[in-house]
Chain A
Amino acid sequence: MSPRRHRLALAATLLTAMFAATSYGLPEPPKESPSEEAEGCLGCHEDPSIEVAFADGTRRTLQVDRNAFAQSVHSGKVACSECHPGFQEVPHPERRFASEDEFRNGMRQACQTCHFQNYSRYMDGVHHRVAKEGGPAPSCVDCHDAHAVTPPGKPRSRVSDTCSTCHSDVAEAWAKSVHGRLASGPKPDDAPVCTDCHRSHDIQDPKTQAFLLRTPETCAKCHADAERMKPYGLSASVVSTYLSDFHGMTASLEAPHAEGTNRVTAVCIDCHGFHDITKVDEPGSKVMKENLLKTCQQCHPDAAGDFPSAWLSHFEPSLTRAPLVYLTKQFYTLLIPFIIGGLVLQILLHFWRVVVNR
Protein backbone atom coordinates (compact mmCIF):
# COMPACT_ATOMS: atom_id res chain seq x y z
CA MET A 1 0.00 0.00 0.00
CA SER A 2 1.40 3.42 -0.95
CA PRO A 3 1.79 6.00 1.88
CA ARG A 4 -1.00 8.03 0.29
CA ARG A 5 -3.39 5.09 0.28
CA HIS A 6 -2.24 4.24 3.77
CA ARG A 7 -3.23 7.70 5.03
CA LEU A 8 -6.56 7.47 3.20
CA ALA A 9 -7.30 4.15 4.81
CA LEU A 10 -6.43 5.53 8.24
CA ALA A 11 -8.67 8.54 7.66
CA ALA A 12 -11.51 6.29 6.56
CA THR A 13 -11.11 4.15 9.66
CA LEU A 14 -11.14 7.19 11.94
CA LEU A 15 -14.20 8.66 10.21
CA THR A 16 -16.06 5.38 10.51
CA ALA A 17 -15.19 5.20 14.19
CA MET A 18 -16.41 8.78 14.77
CA PHE A 19 -19.58 8.09 12.81
CA ALA A 20 -20.18 4.94 14.81
CA ALA A 21 -19.59 6.83 18.05
CA THR A 22 -22.00 9.67 17.18
CA SER A 23 -24.75 7.58 15.61
CA TYR A 24 -24.92 4.78 18.17
CA GLY A 25 -23.55 6.52 21.22
CA LEU A 26 -20.35 5.28 22.86
CA PRO A 27 -20.89 1.84 24.39
CA GLU A 28 -21.75 2.58 28.01
CA PRO A 29 -21.23 -0.03 30.68
CA PRO A 30 -24.50 -1.95 30.59
CA LYS A 31 -26.75 -1.03 33.45
CA GLU A 32 -28.45 -4.38 33.27
CA SER A 33 -26.76 -7.77 33.36
CA PRO A 34 -26.63 -9.58 29.98
CA SER A 35 -29.45 -11.89 31.02
CA GLU A 36 -31.62 -9.02 32.25
CA GLU A 37 -31.10 -7.23 28.97
CA ALA A 38 -31.91 -10.40 27.02
CA GLU A 39 -35.16 -10.77 28.94
CA GLY A 40 -36.14 -7.28 27.80
CA CYS A 41 -35.35 -8.03 24.14
CA LEU A 42 -37.06 -11.42 24.19
CA GLY A 43 -40.20 -9.67 25.35
CA CYS A 44 -40.73 -8.70 21.70
CA HIS A 45 -38.39 -11.00 19.79
CA GLU A 46 -39.94 -14.23 20.97
CA ASP A 47 -42.90 -13.40 18.78
CA PRO A 48 -42.66 -15.33 15.47
CA SER A 49 -44.57 -12.66 13.59
CA ILE A 50 -41.91 -10.00 14.13
CA GLU A 51 -40.19 -9.40 10.77
CA VAL A 52 -37.94 -7.08 8.83
CA ALA A 53 -38.72 -6.04 5.24
CA PHE A 54 -35.91 -5.45 2.74
CA ALA A 55 -35.90 -3.04 -0.18
CA ASP A 56 -35.94 -5.94 -2.66
CA GLY A 57 -39.31 -7.03 -1.33
CA THR A 58 -38.12 -10.03 0.69
CA ARG A 59 -38.77 -10.38 4.40
CA ARG A 60 -37.05 -12.13 7.25
CA THR A 61 -38.20 -13.14 10.69
CA LEU A 62 -36.56 -11.47 13.68
CA GLN A 63 -37.71 -14.13 16.12
CA VAL A 64 -35.17 -15.45 18.62
CA ASP A 65 -35.68 -18.93 20.08
CA ARG A 66 -35.56 -18.42 23.87
CA ASN A 67 -34.44 -21.98 24.67
CA ALA A 68 -31.83 -22.12 21.95
CA PHE A 69 -30.34 -18.85 23.13
CA ALA A 70 -30.41 -19.98 26.77
CA GLN A 71 -28.32 -23.02 25.82
CA SER A 72 -25.84 -21.03 23.74
CA VAL A 73 -22.32 -20.34 24.94
CA HIS A 74 -23.12 -16.62 24.85
CA SER A 75 -26.12 -16.85 27.15
CA GLY A 76 -25.57 -14.79 30.29
CA LYS A 77 -22.14 -13.67 29.08
CA VAL A 78 -22.82 -11.53 26.04
CA ALA A 79 -25.52 -8.88 26.06
CA CYS A 80 -27.77 -8.53 22.99
CA SER A 81 -26.53 -4.98 22.47
CA GLU A 82 -22.93 -6.16 22.17
CA CYS A 83 -23.76 -7.83 18.87
CA HIS A 84 -26.63 -5.50 18.00
CA PRO A 85 -25.30 -2.04 19.00
CA GLY A 86 -27.68 0.86 18.62
CA PHE A 87 -30.80 -1.14 19.36
CA GLN A 88 -31.05 -0.37 23.09
CA GLU A 89 -33.59 2.35 22.36
CA VAL A 90 -37.14 1.15 21.89
CA PRO A 91 -38.59 1.64 19.39
CA HIS A 92 -35.38 1.01 17.41
CA PRO A 93 -34.17 3.73 15.01
CA GLU A 94 -35.31 2.89 11.49
CA ARG A 95 -32.67 1.30 9.23
CA ARG A 96 -32.90 0.23 5.62
CA PHE A 97 -31.30 -2.78 3.98
CA ALA A 98 -31.33 -3.49 0.26
CA SER A 99 -31.52 -7.24 0.75
CA GLU A 100 -31.14 -10.02 3.28
CA ASP A 101 -27.52 -10.43 2.15
CA GLU A 102 -26.73 -6.84 3.07
CA PHE A 103 -28.44 -7.30 6.43
CA ARG A 104 -26.42 -10.43 7.16
CA ASN A 105 -23.11 -8.98 5.97
CA GLY A 106 -23.55 -6.10 8.37
CA MET A 107 -24.14 -8.54 11.22
CA ARG A 108 -20.94 -10.49 10.49
CA GLN A 109 -18.86 -7.56 11.74
CA ALA A 110 -20.33 -8.18 15.20
CA CYS A 111 -18.39 -11.44 15.65
CA GLN A 112 -15.09 -9.74 14.78
CA THR A 113 -15.13 -7.69 18.01
CA CYS A 114 -14.46 -10.72 20.22
CA HIS A 115 -13.39 -13.43 17.74
CA PHE A 116 -10.81 -11.39 15.91
CA GLN A 117 -8.41 -14.24 15.16
CA ASN A 118 -10.97 -16.58 13.65
CA TYR A 119 -12.52 -13.66 11.83
CA SER A 120 -9.24 -12.77 10.14
CA ARG A 121 -8.64 -16.46 9.35
CA TYR A 122 -12.05 -16.49 7.69
CA MET A 123 -10.95 -13.48 5.62
CA ASP A 124 -8.08 -15.65 4.28
CA GLY A 125 -10.40 -18.52 3.45
CA VAL A 126 -12.12 -19.58 0.28
CA HIS A 127 -15.62 -18.86 1.66
CA HIS A 128 -14.82 -15.20 2.13
CA ARG A 129 -13.30 -15.04 -1.34
CA VAL A 130 -16.45 -16.51 -2.90
CA ALA A 131 -18.63 -14.13 -0.88
CA LYS A 132 -16.52 -11.18 -2.02
CA GLU A 133 -16.93 -12.25 -5.64
CA GLY A 134 -20.68 -12.25 -5.10
CA GLY A 135 -21.12 -16.01 -4.98
CA PRO A 136 -23.09 -17.97 -2.40
CA ALA A 137 -20.83 -18.56 0.59
CA PRO A 138 -21.40 -18.89 4.30
CA SER A 139 -20.40 -16.33 6.88
CA CYS A 140 -20.02 -16.88 10.65
CA VAL A 141 -23.68 -17.41 11.55
CA ASP A 142 -24.36 -19.85 8.70
CA CYS A 143 -22.14 -22.44 10.36
CA HIS A 144 -22.33 -21.33 14.01
CA ASP A 145 -25.91 -20.02 14.05
CA ALA A 146 -26.64 -16.50 15.32
CA HIS A 147 -28.28 -17.16 18.67
CA ALA A 148 -27.95 -20.90 19.23
CA VAL A 149 -24.14 -20.72 19.29
CA THR A 150 -22.78 -23.94 20.83
CA PRO A 151 -19.35 -25.63 20.62
CA PRO A 152 -19.12 -26.54 16.92
CA GLY A 153 -17.32 -29.85 17.36
CA LYS A 154 -19.50 -31.40 20.07
CA PRO A 155 -20.16 -34.08 19.01
CA ARG A 156 -17.55 -34.16 16.23
CA SER A 157 -20.07 -35.46 13.71
CA ARG A 158 -21.77 -32.09 14.01
CA VAL A 159 -18.98 -30.52 11.95
CA SER A 160 -19.72 -32.77 8.99
CA ASP A 161 -23.43 -32.19 9.40
CA THR A 162 -22.86 -28.45 9.31
CA CYS A 163 -20.80 -28.62 6.12
CA SER A 164 -23.30 -30.99 4.49
CA THR A 165 -25.90 -28.21 4.57
CA CYS A 166 -24.26 -26.90 1.40
CA HIS A 167 -21.83 -29.69 0.41
CA SER A 168 -24.34 -32.53 0.41
CA ASP A 169 -22.71 -34.47 -2.46
CA VAL A 170 -19.37 -34.46 -0.66
CA ALA A 171 -21.01 -35.45 2.63
CA GLU A 172 -22.69 -38.40 0.94
CA ALA A 173 -19.43 -39.70 -0.56
CA TRP A 174 -17.62 -39.17 2.72
CA ALA A 175 -20.28 -41.00 4.74
CA LYS A 176 -19.65 -44.14 2.67
CA SER A 177 -15.86 -43.81 2.91
CA VAL A 178 -13.68 -45.59 5.47
CA HIS A 179 -13.48 -42.34 7.43
CA GLY A 180 -17.23 -41.69 7.27
CA ARG A 181 -18.07 -45.22 8.41
CA LEU A 182 -15.65 -44.80 11.30
CA ALA A 183 -17.37 -41.54 12.27
CA SER A 184 -20.74 -43.27 12.51
CA GLY A 185 -19.26 -46.30 14.30
CA PRO A 186 -18.49 -46.90 17.97
CA LYS A 187 -15.37 -44.71 17.99
CA PRO A 188 -16.44 -41.54 16.17
CA ASP A 189 -13.69 -39.48 17.77
CA ASP A 190 -11.08 -41.45 15.82
CA ALA A 191 -12.53 -40.33 12.50
CA PRO A 192 -11.42 -37.20 10.70
CA VAL A 193 -14.22 -34.73 10.03
CA CYS A 194 -14.21 -32.07 7.32
CA THR A 195 -12.31 -29.47 9.34
CA ASP A 196 -9.49 -31.87 10.26
CA CYS A 197 -8.33 -31.87 6.66
CA HIS A 198 -9.76 -28.60 5.33
CA ARG A 199 -9.41 -26.47 8.47
CA SER A 200 -12.38 -24.46 9.63
CA HIS A 201 -11.95 -20.73 9.11
CA ASP A 202 -9.01 -20.36 6.72
CA ILE A 203 -10.24 -23.05 4.33
CA GLN A 204 -8.08 -23.13 1.20
CA ASP A 205 -9.20 -23.92 -2.32
CA PRO A 206 -8.51 -27.68 -2.49
CA LYS A 207 -7.65 -27.53 -6.18
CA THR A 208 -4.59 -25.37 -5.65
CA GLN A 209 -1.03 -26.68 -5.52
CA ALA A 210 -0.56 -24.97 -2.18
CA PHE A 211 -3.30 -27.11 -0.63
CA LEU A 212 -2.46 -30.32 -2.47
CA LEU A 213 1.24 -30.26 -1.66
CA ARG A 214 0.28 -30.01 2.01
CA THR A 215 -1.81 -33.20 1.91
CA PRO A 216 1.07 -35.44 3.12
CA GLU A 217 1.30 -33.17 6.15
CA THR A 218 -2.49 -33.29 6.59
CA CYS A 219 -2.70 -37.08 6.41
CA ALA A 220 0.39 -37.39 8.63
CA LYS A 221 -1.50 -35.81 11.54
CA CYS A 222 -3.17 -39.20 12.04
CA HIS A 223 -1.39 -41.65 9.74
CA ALA A 224 2.12 -40.98 11.06
CA ASP A 225 0.92 -41.41 14.65
CA ALA A 226 1.75 -44.98 15.69
CA GLU A 227 -0.54 -44.83 18.73
CA ARG A 228 -3.55 -43.84 16.64
CA MET A 229 -2.83 -46.38 13.89
CA LYS A 230 -2.19 -49.35 16.21
CA PRO A 231 -5.84 -50.28 16.92
CA TYR A 232 -6.50 -50.38 13.16
CA GLY A 233 -3.42 -52.42 12.29
CA LEU A 234 -2.17 -49.66 10.01
CA SER A 235 1.48 -48.77 9.42
CA ALA A 236 2.62 -45.41 10.74
CA SER A 237 5.48 -45.22 8.25
CA VAL A 238 3.24 -44.50 5.26
CA VAL A 239 4.19 -40.84 5.28
CA SER A 240 7.93 -41.29 5.72
CA THR A 241 8.05 -43.92 2.96
CA TYR A 242 6.10 -41.60 0.69
CA LEU A 243 8.34 -38.63 1.46
CA SER A 244 11.56 -40.52 0.76
CA ASP A 245 10.29 -41.66 -2.63
CA PHE A 246 10.37 -39.65 -5.84
CA HIS A 247 6.86 -38.20 -5.52
CA GLY A 248 7.27 -37.26 -1.87
CA MET A 249 10.67 -35.68 -2.39
CA THR A 250 9.23 -33.58 -5.20
CA ALA A 251 6.26 -32.55 -3.05
CA SER A 252 8.56 -31.45 -0.20
CA LEU A 253 10.73 -29.39 -2.52
CA GLU A 254 7.85 -27.90 -4.49
CA ALA A 255 5.68 -26.91 -1.52
CA PRO A 256 7.40 -23.52 -1.04
CA HIS A 257 7.01 -22.75 -4.75
CA ALA A 258 3.43 -23.95 -5.04
CA GLU A 259 1.46 -21.73 -7.36
CA GLY A 260 -1.74 -22.12 -9.30
CA THR A 261 -3.25 -25.47 -10.14
CA ASN A 262 -0.55 -27.04 -12.35
CA ARG A 263 0.24 -30.48 -10.94
CA VAL A 264 3.89 -31.45 -10.52
CA THR A 265 3.70 -34.61 -8.45
CA ALA A 266 1.33 -37.17 -6.98
CA VAL A 267 0.27 -36.69 -3.36
CA CYS A 268 -1.65 -39.08 -1.06
CA ILE A 269 -5.07 -38.32 -2.51
CA ASP A 270 -4.03 -38.92 -6.11
CA CYS A 271 -3.67 -42.63 -5.46
CA HIS A 272 -6.01 -43.10 -2.49
CA GLY A 273 -8.81 -40.72 -3.40
CA PHE A 274 -10.14 -38.25 -0.86
CA HIS A 275 -13.77 -38.02 0.22
CA ASP A 276 -14.56 -41.51 -1.06
CA ILE A 277 -11.34 -43.02 0.33
CA THR A 278 -11.54 -46.78 0.96
CA LYS A 279 -9.53 -49.38 2.81
CA VAL A 280 -6.66 -50.57 0.62
CA ASP A 281 -8.01 -54.15 0.51
CA GLU A 282 -11.60 -53.20 -0.26
CA PRO A 283 -12.89 -54.12 -3.72
CA GLY A 284 -12.72 -51.04 -5.88
CA SER A 285 -9.80 -49.58 -3.96
CA LYS A 286 -7.66 -47.53 -6.32
CA VAL A 287 -4.49 -48.81 -4.69
CA MET A 288 -5.23 -52.54 -4.84
CA LYS A 289 -2.58 -54.39 -6.83
CA GLU A 290 -5.10 -55.19 -9.60
CA ASN A 291 -6.16 -51.57 -9.93
CA LEU A 292 -2.78 -49.95 -9.39
CA LEU A 293 -1.69 -49.75 -13.03
CA LYS A 294 -4.86 -47.85 -13.86
CA THR A 295 -4.18 -45.50 -10.96
CA CYS A 296 -0.61 -44.89 -12.19
CA GLN A 297 -1.95 -44.20 -15.67
CA GLN A 298 -3.91 -41.20 -14.36
CA CYS A 299 -0.61 -39.29 -14.49
CA HIS A 300 1.60 -41.69 -16.51
CA PRO A 301 -0.57 -42.62 -19.49
CA ASP A 302 2.27 -44.70 -20.99
CA ALA A 303 2.66 -46.83 -17.85
CA ALA A 304 2.56 -50.54 -18.67
CA GLY A 305 3.91 -53.89 -17.61
CA ASP A 306 5.50 -54.00 -14.18
CA PHE A 307 5.54 -50.22 -13.71
CA PRO A 308 3.46 -50.27 -10.47
CA SER A 309 6.21 -52.34 -8.79
CA ALA A 310 8.43 -49.28 -9.09
CA TRP A 311 6.47 -48.05 -6.10
CA LEU A 312 7.16 -50.14 -3.00
CA SER A 313 3.62 -49.70 -1.61
CA HIS A 314 4.83 -47.86 1.50
CA PHE A 315 7.02 -50.80 2.55
CA GLU A 316 10.57 -50.31 3.74
CA PRO A 317 12.79 -52.41 1.46
CA SER A 318 13.84 -55.71 3.08
CA LEU A 319 15.09 -59.14 2.01
CA THR A 320 11.52 -60.29 1.49
CA ARG A 321 10.16 -57.03 0.04
CA ALA A 322 12.16 -55.46 -2.75
CA PRO A 323 15.38 -57.41 -2.03
CA LEU A 324 17.27 -55.74 -4.89
CA VAL A 325 16.60 -52.29 -3.43
CA TYR A 326 17.50 -53.53 0.06
CA LEU A 327 20.78 -55.14 -1.04
CA THR A 328 21.80 -52.10 -3.08
CA LYS A 329 21.17 -49.94 -0.04
CA GLN A 330 23.20 -52.26 2.20
CA PHE A 331 26.00 -52.42 -0.37
CA TYR A 332 26.44 -48.65 -0.33
CA THR A 333 26.07 -48.46 3.43
CA LEU A 334 29.23 -50.57 3.59
CA LEU A 335 31.01 -49.27 0.49
CA ILE A 336 30.85 -45.53 1.17
CA PRO A 337 32.52 -45.59 4.63
CA PHE A 338 35.04 -48.17 3.37
CA ILE A 339 36.13 -46.14 0.33
CA ILE A 340 36.01 -42.71 1.92
CA GLY A 341 37.56 -43.95 5.16
CA GLY A 342 40.36 -45.65 3.21
CA LEU A 343 41.09 -42.54 1.15
CA VAL A 344 41.04 -40.21 4.15
CA LEU A 345 43.38 -42.58 5.98
CA GLN A 346 45.79 -42.48 3.02
CA ILE A 347 45.59 -38.69 2.96
CA LEU A 348 46.41 -38.51 6.66
CA LEU A 349 49.26 -41.00 6.32
CA HIS A 350 50.69 -39.13 3.35
CA PHE A 351 50.50 -35.81 5.13
CA TRP A 352 52.02 -37.24 8.27
CA ARG A 353 54.94 -38.85 6.42
CA VAL A 354 55.67 -35.93 4.09
CA VAL A 355 55.31 -33.05 6.52
CA VAL A 356 55.65 -34.30 10.05
CA ASN A 357 57.86 -37.32 9.75
CA ARG A 358 59.96 -36.69 6.68
Chain B
Amino acid sequence: MSAHEYVERFSTRQRIEHLFVMSLFIVLALTGFPQKFYDAGWAAAVVSLFGGVPQMRVVHRAAGYGLLFATVFHFFFVLLEVVVRKARLSMVPERQDFKDAIHQLRYYLRLESTPARFDRFDYREKFEYWGLVFGNSIMVGSGLVLLYPMLVARYLPGELIPTAKIAHSNEGLMAFLVVITWHVYNAHFAPDIFPFNKTIFTGKISKHHLQKEHPREFERLFPEDASTETAAAPPTAPPPAPARET
Protein backbone atom coordinates (compact mmCIF):
# COMPACT_ATOMS: atom_id res chain seq x y z
CA MET B 1 0.00 0.00 0.00
CA SER B 2 1.51 3.28 -1.11
CA ALA B 3 1.59 6.26 1.24
CA HIS B 4 0.53 8.34 -1.76
CA GLU B 5 -2.71 6.54 -2.40
CA TYR B 6 -5.59 8.78 -1.45
CA VAL B 7 -9.20 8.27 -0.51
CA GLU B 8 -11.90 10.93 -0.66
CA ARG B 9 -12.86 11.94 2.88
CA PHE B 10 -14.85 15.13 2.32
CA SER B 11 -17.15 15.91 -0.60
CA THR B 12 -16.92 19.19 -2.52
CA ARG B 13 -20.05 20.37 -0.70
CA GLN B 14 -18.45 19.70 2.69
CA ARG B 15 -15.19 21.43 1.71
CA ILE B 16 -17.06 24.53 0.53
CA GLU B 17 -19.10 24.52 3.73
CA HIS B 18 -15.93 24.41 5.84
CA LEU B 19 -14.32 27.23 3.87
CA PHE B 20 -17.48 29.31 4.11
CA VAL B 21 -17.99 28.77 7.85
CA MET B 22 -14.29 29.33 8.52
CA SER B 23 -14.36 32.71 6.73
CA LEU B 24 -17.57 33.72 8.48
CA PHE B 25 -16.13 32.68 11.83
CA ILE B 26 -13.10 34.94 11.32
CA VAL B 27 -15.26 37.88 10.22
CA LEU B 28 -17.70 37.38 13.10
CA ALA B 29 -14.92 37.16 15.68
CA LEU B 30 -13.20 40.23 14.25
CA THR B 31 -16.38 42.32 14.25
CA GLY B 32 -17.81 40.83 17.44
CA PHE B 33 -14.97 40.94 19.96
CA PRO B 34 -14.44 44.72 19.77
CA GLN B 35 -18.04 44.97 20.98
CA LYS B 36 -17.41 42.58 23.88
CA PHE B 37 -14.09 44.15 24.86
CA TYR B 38 -15.21 47.69 24.07
CA ASP B 39 -12.74 49.43 26.39
CA ALA B 40 -9.60 47.71 25.07
CA GLY B 41 -7.24 49.72 22.89
CA TRP B 42 -7.24 47.14 20.11
CA ALA B 43 -11.05 47.29 19.99
CA ALA B 44 -10.88 50.97 18.99
CA ALA B 45 -8.26 50.09 16.35
CA VAL B 46 -10.49 47.39 14.82
CA VAL B 47 -13.49 49.74 14.82
CA SER B 48 -11.38 52.32 12.96
CA LEU B 49 -10.67 49.68 10.34
CA PHE B 50 -14.38 49.60 9.54
CA GLY B 51 -14.83 53.35 9.93
CA GLY B 52 -17.16 53.17 12.93
CA VAL B 53 -19.40 50.91 14.96
CA PRO B 54 -22.47 51.15 12.71
CA GLN B 55 -20.42 50.08 9.69
CA MET B 56 -18.78 47.25 11.65
CA ARG B 57 -22.21 46.04 12.79
CA VAL B 58 -23.46 45.87 9.20
CA VAL B 59 -20.59 43.46 8.44
CA HIS B 60 -21.21 41.47 11.64
CA ARG B 61 -24.92 41.10 10.91
CA ALA B 62 -24.38 40.15 7.28
CA ALA B 63 -21.89 37.47 8.36
CA GLY B 64 -24.37 36.33 11.02
CA TYR B 65 -27.02 35.86 8.35
CA GLY B 66 -24.40 33.98 6.35
CA LEU B 67 -23.91 31.61 9.27
CA LEU B 68 -27.68 31.21 9.64
CA PHE B 69 -27.96 30.18 5.99
CA ALA B 70 -24.89 27.93 6.21
CA THR B 71 -26.50 26.09 9.13
CA VAL B 72 -29.88 25.76 7.44
CA PHE B 73 -28.31 24.58 4.16
CA HIS B 74 -26.12 22.10 5.99
CA PHE B 75 -29.11 20.34 7.53
CA PHE B 76 -31.00 20.55 4.29
CA PHE B 77 -28.15 18.79 2.43
CA VAL B 78 -27.70 16.19 5.15
CA LEU B 79 -31.40 15.41 4.98
CA LEU B 80 -31.23 15.21 1.19
CA GLU B 81 -28.30 12.80 1.31
CA VAL B 82 -29.95 10.61 3.89
CA VAL B 83 -33.27 10.47 2.05
CA VAL B 84 -32.07 10.29 -1.55
CA ARG B 85 -28.69 8.56 -1.32
CA LYS B 86 -29.47 6.63 1.84
CA ALA B 87 -26.25 7.97 3.36
CA ARG B 88 -25.15 6.85 6.82
CA LEU B 89 -25.44 9.43 9.62
CA SER B 90 -21.77 9.19 10.54
CA MET B 91 -21.83 12.15 12.98
CA VAL B 92 -24.48 10.80 15.34
CA PRO B 93 -22.84 9.97 18.70
CA GLU B 94 -22.95 6.27 19.53
CA ARG B 95 -22.25 4.15 22.57
CA GLN B 96 -18.88 3.30 21.00
CA ASP B 97 -17.83 6.97 21.12
CA PHE B 98 -18.10 7.08 24.89
CA LYS B 99 -16.16 3.81 25.11
CA ASP B 100 -13.54 5.28 22.76
CA ALA B 101 -13.26 8.46 24.81
CA ILE B 102 -12.67 6.48 28.00
CA HIS B 103 -10.23 4.17 26.21
CA GLN B 104 -8.33 7.15 24.79
CA LEU B 105 -8.09 8.84 28.20
CA ARG B 106 -6.85 5.58 29.71
CA TYR B 107 -4.31 5.41 26.88
CA TYR B 108 -3.07 8.93 27.70
CA LEU B 109 -2.64 7.87 31.31
CA ARG B 110 -0.76 4.71 30.23
CA LEU B 111 -3.55 2.47 31.43
CA GLU B 112 -3.94 1.16 27.87
CA SER B 113 -1.09 0.30 25.58
CA THR B 114 -2.86 1.16 22.30
CA PRO B 115 -4.98 4.15 21.34
CA ALA B 116 -8.68 3.70 20.63
CA ARG B 117 -9.55 2.41 17.15
CA PHE B 118 -11.84 5.00 15.58
CA ASP B 119 -14.41 4.77 12.84
CA ARG B 120 -15.11 7.44 10.20
CA PHE B 121 -15.41 10.24 12.79
CA ASP B 122 -13.86 9.90 16.21
CA TYR B 123 -15.41 11.20 19.42
CA ARG B 124 -13.32 14.40 19.26
CA GLU B 125 -14.56 15.22 15.78
CA LYS B 126 -18.15 14.48 16.79
CA PHE B 127 -17.77 16.65 19.90
CA GLU B 128 -16.56 19.54 17.82
CA TYR B 129 -19.24 19.06 15.17
CA TRP B 130 -22.08 19.05 17.69
CA GLY B 131 -20.43 21.86 19.62
CA LEU B 132 -20.51 23.88 16.42
CA VAL B 133 -24.13 22.93 15.73
CA PHE B 134 -25.30 23.87 19.24
CA GLY B 135 -23.02 26.89 19.38
CA ASN B 136 -24.26 28.13 16.02
CA SER B 137 -27.87 27.71 17.10
CA ILE B 138 -27.24 29.74 20.26
CA MET B 139 -25.26 32.39 18.39
CA VAL B 140 -27.79 32.72 15.57
CA GLY B 141 -30.77 32.63 17.94
CA SER B 142 -29.40 35.16 20.42
CA GLY B 143 -28.04 37.27 17.55
CA LEU B 144 -31.52 37.51 16.03
CA VAL B 145 -32.97 38.53 19.41
CA LEU B 146 -30.36 41.30 19.62
CA LEU B 147 -31.01 42.34 16.03
CA TYR B 148 -34.80 42.52 16.46
CA PRO B 149 -35.30 43.44 20.14
CA MET B 150 -38.51 45.37 19.50
CA LEU B 151 -40.13 42.47 17.72
CA VAL B 152 -39.10 40.07 20.50
CA ALA B 153 -40.34 42.33 23.31
CA ARG B 154 -43.70 42.72 21.62
CA TYR B 155 -44.50 39.08 22.39
CA LEU B 156 -41.97 37.90 24.98
CA PRO B 157 -40.46 39.22 28.23
CA GLY B 158 -37.99 42.06 27.65
CA GLU B 159 -35.48 40.38 29.95
CA LEU B 160 -34.76 37.96 27.09
CA ILE B 161 -32.81 40.72 25.35
CA PRO B 162 -30.07 41.23 27.98
CA THR B 163 -30.10 37.43 28.44
CA ALA B 164 -29.43 37.02 24.74
CA LYS B 165 -26.62 39.56 25.01
CA ILE B 166 -24.92 37.60 27.81
CA ALA B 167 -25.40 34.31 25.96
CA HIS B 168 -24.16 35.73 22.64
CA SER B 169 -21.13 37.32 24.23
CA ASN B 170 -20.10 34.26 26.27
CA GLU B 171 -20.97 31.59 23.72
CA GLY B 172 -18.96 33.54 21.14
CA LEU B 173 -15.97 33.71 23.46
CA MET B 174 -16.22 29.99 24.20
CA ALA B 175 -16.44 29.12 20.49
CA PHE B 176 -13.39 31.24 19.80
CA LEU B 177 -11.42 29.63 22.64
CA VAL B 178 -12.40 26.11 21.51
CA VAL B 179 -11.27 26.92 17.99
CA ILE B 180 -7.93 28.44 18.94
CA THR B 181 -7.07 25.65 21.39
CA TRP B 182 -8.76 22.41 20.40
CA HIS B 183 -9.33 22.89 16.69
CA VAL B 184 -5.98 24.51 15.98
CA TYR B 185 -4.17 21.81 17.96
CA ASN B 186 -5.94 18.97 16.20
CA ALA B 187 -5.65 20.49 12.73
CA HIS B 188 -2.14 21.95 13.03
CA PHE B 189 -0.10 21.32 16.15
CA ALA B 190 -0.81 17.70 17.05
CA PRO B 191 2.51 15.88 16.56
CA ASP B 192 1.21 13.61 13.75
CA ILE B 193 -0.47 16.49 12.00
CA PHE B 194 2.03 19.36 12.25
CA PRO B 195 2.12 21.69 10.44
CA PHE B 196 -1.17 21.34 8.58
CA ASN B 197 -3.87 18.75 7.97
CA LYS B 198 -5.01 19.66 4.46
CA THR B 199 -7.78 17.06 4.23
CA ILE B 200 -10.66 19.49 4.81
CA PHE B 201 -9.39 21.66 1.94
CA THR B 202 -8.37 18.97 -0.56
CA GLY B 203 -10.96 16.44 0.50
CA LYS B 204 -8.33 13.69 0.27
CA ILE B 205 -6.73 11.57 2.98
CA SER B 206 -3.89 9.15 2.36
CA LYS B 207 -4.73 5.52 2.91
CA HIS B 208 -1.88 5.43 5.38
CA HIS B 209 -3.38 8.20 7.52
CA LEU B 210 -6.84 6.76 7.17
CA GLN B 211 -5.67 3.42 8.47
CA LYS B 212 -3.88 5.03 11.37
CA GLU B 213 -6.52 7.54 12.42
CA HIS B 214 -9.72 5.77 11.43
CA PRO B 215 -8.78 2.06 11.40
CA ARG B 216 -12.33 0.79 11.65
CA GLU B 217 -13.43 2.84 8.64
CA PHE B 218 -10.33 1.62 6.80
CA GLU B 219 -11.27 -1.97 7.52
CA ARG B 220 -14.75 -1.41 6.16
CA LEU B 221 -13.45 0.31 3.01
CA PHE B 222 -10.46 -1.97 2.30
CA PRO B 223 -11.10 -5.37 3.83
CA GLU B 224 -8.33 -6.95 1.71
CA ASP B 225 -5.71 -4.37 2.74
CA ALA B 226 -6.80 -4.67 6.31
CA SER B 227 -6.48 -8.46 6.33
CA THR B 228 -2.97 -8.33 4.82
CA GLU B 229 -1.98 -5.72 7.36
CA THR B 230 -3.49 -7.83 10.07
CA ALA B 231 -1.55 -10.84 8.82
CA ALA B 232 1.66 -8.85 8.90
CA ALA B 233 1.00 -7.45 12.34
CA PRO B 234 -1.34 -9.44 14.52
CA PRO B 235 -3.59 -7.29 16.73
CA THR B 236 -2.08 -8.74 19.90
CA ALA B 237 1.27 -7.11 19.12
CA PRO B 238 1.63 -3.47 20.14
CA PRO B 239 1.16 -1.26 17.07
CA PRO B 240 4.19 0.56 15.74
CA ALA B 241 4.83 3.92 17.32
CA PRO B 242 2.91 6.64 15.49
CA ALA B 243 5.11 7.65 12.62
CA ARG B 244 5.62 11.33 12.13
CA GLU B 245 5.12 12.31 8.58
CA THR B 246 3.86 15.34 6.81
Contacts and interface: CB of A to CB of B under 8 A. Distances in A.
Real binding pair: yes
Given A302-B150, A335-B174, A250 B162 contact: no
A304 B151 CA distance: 8
A30 interface: no
Q: Is the interface on chain A under 10, 10 to 19, 20 to 34, or 35 or more residues?
A: 35 or more
Interface stretch (A173-181, A186-194, A323-331): A323-331
B150 A304 contact: yes
A312 B109 CA distance: 49
B53 interface: yes
A324 B167 CA distance: 11
Given A249-B38, A253-B35, A332-B174, A325 B162 contact: yes
Interface residues of B, number: 48
Contacts of B105: 346, 349
A319 interface: no
Contacts of B191: 351, 354-355
Interface string A318-354: 0000101100110010011001100110110111111
B223 to A, nearest CB: 28
A246 B44 contact: no
Q: In terms of DSSP, what is the predominant structure of the interface of chain B?
A: helix
B192 A354 contact: yes
B129 to A, nearest CB: 15
Contacts of A264: 52-54
A315 to B, nearest CB: 11
A240 to B, nearest CB: 11
A317 interface: yes
B235 interface: no
Interface stretch (B62-70, B85-93, B153-161): B153-161
Interface in B142-198: 146, 149-150, 153-163, 165-167, 170-171, 173-174, 177-178, 181-182, 185, 190-192
Contact of B48 (A256, A305, A307): A256
A354 B242 contact: yes
Contacts of A22: none
Nearest to A258: B52
Nearest to B109: A349
A351 B186 CA distance: 11
A356 B242 CA distance: 12
Contact of B159 (A253, A303, A309, A350): A309
A79 to B, nearest CB: 50
Interface string A272-304: 000000000000000000000000000010111
A354 B156 CA distance: 52
A257 B48 CA distance: 8
A145 interface: no
A311 to B, nearest CB: 8
Given A264-B54, A312-B162, A324-B159, A340 B177 contact: yes
Interface of A: 243, 245-246, 249-250, 252-254, 256-257, 264, 300, 302-312, 317, 322, 324-325, 328-329, 332, 335-336, 339-340, 343-344, 346-347, 349-355, 357-358
22 contacts: A243-B39, A253-B34, A254-B47, A254-B53, A305-B155, A306-B159, A307-B158, A309-B153, A309-B157, A310-B162, A324-B159, A324-B160, A325-B166, A332-B167, A336-B173, A340-B181, A343-B182, A344-B181, A350-B108, A351-B190, A352-B108, A355-B191
